[in-house]
Amino acid sequence: MNNYMSIRFKSVSENEALARNCIASFVSPLEPTMEDMADIRTSISEAVTNCIVHGYDGKIGMVEMSAYTEGKKLTIKITDRGCGIHNIDKARQPLYTSKPETERSGMGFTIMESFMDSVKIISKEGKGTTVIMTKNIRENTEVSDAG
Protein backbone atom coordinates (compact mmCIF):
# COMPACT_ATOMS: atom_id res chain seq x y z
CA MET A 1 0.00 0.00 0.00
CA ASN A 2 1.17 3.55 -0.67
CA ASN A 3 0.59 6.04 2.09
CA TYR A 4 1.44 9.62 3.04
CA MET A 5 1.49 11.75 6.20
CA SER A 6 2.75 15.13 7.34
CA ILE A 7 2.94 17.01 10.65
CA ARG A 8 4.37 20.29 11.97
CA PHE A 9 5.51 20.77 15.54
CA LYS A 10 7.28 23.28 17.76
CA SER A 11 11.09 23.03 18.06
CA VAL A 12 11.25 21.77 21.63
CA SER A 13 13.04 18.61 22.78
CA GLU A 14 9.80 17.06 24.10
CA ASN A 15 8.72 16.72 20.47
CA GLU A 16 11.61 14.41 19.59
CA ALA A 17 9.54 11.57 21.08
CA LEU A 18 6.42 12.80 19.26
CA ALA A 19 8.25 12.61 15.92
CA ARG A 20 9.61 9.12 16.62
CA ASN A 21 6.26 7.75 17.75
CA CYS A 22 4.47 9.27 14.82
CA ILE A 23 6.73 7.60 12.24
CA ALA A 24 6.70 4.35 14.22
CA SER A 25 2.89 4.21 13.91
CA PHE A 26 3.07 5.18 10.27
CA VAL A 27 5.45 2.33 9.31
CA SER A 28 3.95 -0.32 11.57
CA PRO A 29 1.62 -1.69 8.84
CA LEU A 30 4.80 -2.66 6.95
CA GLU A 31 5.70 -4.87 9.93
CA PRO A 32 9.35 -3.85 10.19
CA THR A 33 11.76 -5.98 12.22
CA MET A 34 12.60 -4.65 15.68
CA GLU A 35 16.03 -3.68 14.43
CA ASP A 36 14.68 -1.72 11.43
CA MET A 37 12.18 0.02 13.71
CA ALA A 38 14.95 0.99 16.15
CA ASP A 39 17.12 2.26 13.28
CA ILE A 40 14.26 4.41 11.95
CA ARG A 41 13.41 5.84 15.38
CA THR A 42 17.04 6.70 16.05
CA SER A 43 17.50 8.39 12.67
CA ILE A 44 14.36 10.50 13.17
CA SER A 45 15.68 11.49 16.56
CA GLU A 46 18.97 12.65 15.05
CA ALA A 47 17.38 14.70 12.29
CA VAL A 48 14.75 16.34 14.52
CA THR A 49 17.28 17.13 17.27
CA ASN A 50 19.49 18.82 14.67
CA CYS A 51 16.60 21.08 13.63
CA ILE A 52 16.04 22.04 17.26
CA VAL A 53 19.62 22.50 18.49
CA HIS A 54 21.34 23.70 15.30
CA GLY A 55 18.67 24.95 12.88
CA TYR A 56 16.80 27.04 15.44
CA ASP A 57 19.60 27.04 18.05
CA GLY A 58 17.23 27.07 21.01
CA LYS A 59 14.89 29.64 19.47
CA ILE A 60 11.33 28.60 18.74
CA GLY A 61 10.41 27.63 15.20
CA MET A 62 8.42 24.96 13.45
CA VAL A 63 9.78 21.59 12.36
CA GLU A 64 8.00 19.93 9.44
CA MET A 65 8.04 16.20 8.99
CA SER A 66 6.43 14.19 6.21
CA ALA A 67 6.71 10.57 5.21
CA TYR A 68 5.49 8.27 2.50
CA THR A 69 5.61 4.60 1.74
CA GLU A 70 5.72 3.02 -1.70
CA GLY A 71 5.45 -0.71 -1.20
CA LYS A 72 8.20 -1.58 1.26
CA LYS A 73 10.13 1.67 0.76
CA LEU A 74 9.86 4.38 3.40
CA THR A 75 10.84 8.00 2.70
CA ILE A 76 11.01 10.60 5.46
CA LYS A 77 11.53 14.32 4.98
CA ILE A 78 12.40 16.62 7.89
CA THR A 79 12.66 20.39 7.43
CA ASP A 80 13.49 23.45 9.51
CA ARG A 81 13.47 27.10 8.44
CA GLY A 82 16.48 27.90 10.59
CA CYS A 83 20.11 28.96 10.00
CA GLY A 84 21.05 26.38 7.33
CA ILE A 85 24.36 24.55 6.91
CA HIS A 86 27.42 26.40 5.59
CA ASN A 87 29.41 23.32 4.52
CA ILE A 88 27.41 20.12 4.03
CA ASP A 89 30.43 17.90 3.27
CA LYS A 90 32.01 18.96 6.53
CA ALA A 91 28.76 18.52 8.47
CA ARG A 92 28.51 14.91 7.28
CA GLN A 93 31.97 13.99 8.57
CA PRO A 94 32.05 11.72 11.62
CA LEU A 95 32.92 13.62 14.81
CA TYR A 96 32.43 17.05 13.22
CA THR A 97 30.30 19.33 15.35
CA SER A 98 29.91 23.10 15.24
CA LYS A 99 29.14 23.02 18.96
CA PRO A 100 32.18 21.36 20.55
CA GLU A 101 31.63 23.43 23.73
CA THR A 102 28.39 21.52 24.38
CA GLU A 103 28.09 17.75 24.77
CA ARG A 104 27.60 16.99 21.09
CA SER A 105 29.62 14.20 19.56
CA GLY A 106 29.26 15.02 15.87
CA MET A 107 27.86 11.55 15.17
CA GLY A 108 24.31 12.46 14.10
CA PHE A 109 24.71 12.32 10.32
CA THR A 110 27.04 9.31 10.58
CA ILE A 111 24.34 7.43 12.50
CA MET A 112 21.61 8.42 10.01
CA GLU A 113 23.83 7.29 7.10
CA SER A 114 24.57 3.95 8.67
CA PHE A 115 21.00 3.22 9.83
CA MET A 116 19.11 4.34 6.71
CA ASP A 117 19.64 3.35 3.05
CA SER A 118 20.09 6.93 1.86
CA VAL A 119 20.40 10.37 3.44
CA LYS A 120 20.15 13.52 1.36
CA ILE A 121 20.80 16.99 2.80
CA ILE A 122 19.46 20.13 1.14
CA SER A 123 20.38 23.36 2.88
CA LYS A 124 20.67 27.07 2.30
CA GLU A 125 22.31 29.43 4.76
CA GLY A 126 19.78 31.68 6.40
CA LYS A 127 16.89 29.69 4.86
CA GLY A 128 16.94 26.29 6.50
CA THR A 129 17.66 22.62 6.04
CA THR A 130 15.84 19.56 4.72
CA VAL A 131 16.99 16.01 5.32
CA ILE A 132 15.47 13.25 3.18
CA MET A 133 16.05 9.68 4.30
CA THR A 134 14.91 6.41 2.76
CA LYS A 135 14.86 2.86 3.98
CA ASN A 136 13.66 -0.37 2.44
CA ILE A 137 11.81 -2.28 5.11
CA ARG A 138 13.11 -5.82 5.22
CA GLU A 139 10.87 -8.86 5.23
CA ASN A 140 10.10 -9.67 8.84
CA THR A 141 10.96 -13.28 9.59
CA GLU A 142 10.79 -12.86 13.37
CA VAL A 143 8.37 -15.36 14.87
CA SER A 144 5.36 -13.52 16.22
CA ASP A 145 4.04 -14.23 19.70
CA ALA A 146 0.48 -14.34 18.41
CA GLY A 147 0.51 -17.98 17.33
Catalytic residue IDs: 46, 50, 104
Among 32, 55, 82, 108, interactor with Mg ion by CB under 5 A: 108
Would you count residue 111 as binding other proteins (CB under 8 A)? yes
Would you count residue 49 as binding other proteins (CB under 8 A)? yes
What 93-100 contacts at long range (C-beta under 8 Å, 24+ apart), as own/partner pairs, is 98/54, 99/53, 99/54
Would you count residue 54 as binding other proteins (CB under 8 A)? no
What 91-96 contacts at long range (C-beta under 8 Å, 24+ apart), as own/partner pairs, is 91/121, 92/121
Residue 59 · residue 118 · CB < 8 Å? no
Would you count residue 115 as binding ligand ATP (CB under 6 A)? no
**Stretch of 15-23, 61-69, 102-110, 139-147 contacting ligand ATP, by CB under 6 A:** 102-110
